[in-house]
Structure 1
Amino acid sequence: MKIGYFLSCEEYEPRELLEQALLAEEAGFEALWISDHFHPWNDEQGQSPFVWGVIGALSRVTRLPVTTAVTCPTMRMSPVITAQAAATAAVMHEGRFRLGVGSGEALNEHIHGDAWPSADVRLEMLDEAVDVMRRLWSGENVEHRGRHYTVDNARIYTLPDEPPEVYVSGFGPKSVRLAGRIADGYITTSPDTDLLDLFRETSGGKPAAAGFKAAYASSEEEGVRHAHRLWATSGLPGELAQVLATPRHFEQAAQLVTPEMTRDSLVCGPDLERHVASFQPYVDAGFEEVYVANIGPHYRDMITRFGEEVLPAVRAMAARDQKLDDKVEVAR
Structure 2
Amino acid sequence: MIVVTAPTGNIGSRVLAEVADGSRPVRAIVRDPAKLPADLRERIEVHQGSHSDPEVLARAFDGADTVFWLIPPDRRAASADEAYSGFARPAVEAIRAHGVRRVVSVSALGRGTAFAERAGHVTATLAMDDLIAGTGVAFRALANPTFMDNLLRQTAVIKEQGTFYDILPPDYAAPTACTRDIAAVASRLLIDPLWTGREEVPILGPEDLSLNQEAEIMSDVLGISVKYQQVPVPALGEQVRASGLSEAMAQSMMDMMTAKLNHLDEGVVRTPQHAVEAPTTFRQWCEEVLKPAVDKA
Normalised by the size of structure 1, how large is the TM-score? 0.28
Normalised by the size of structure 2, how large is the TM-score? 0.30
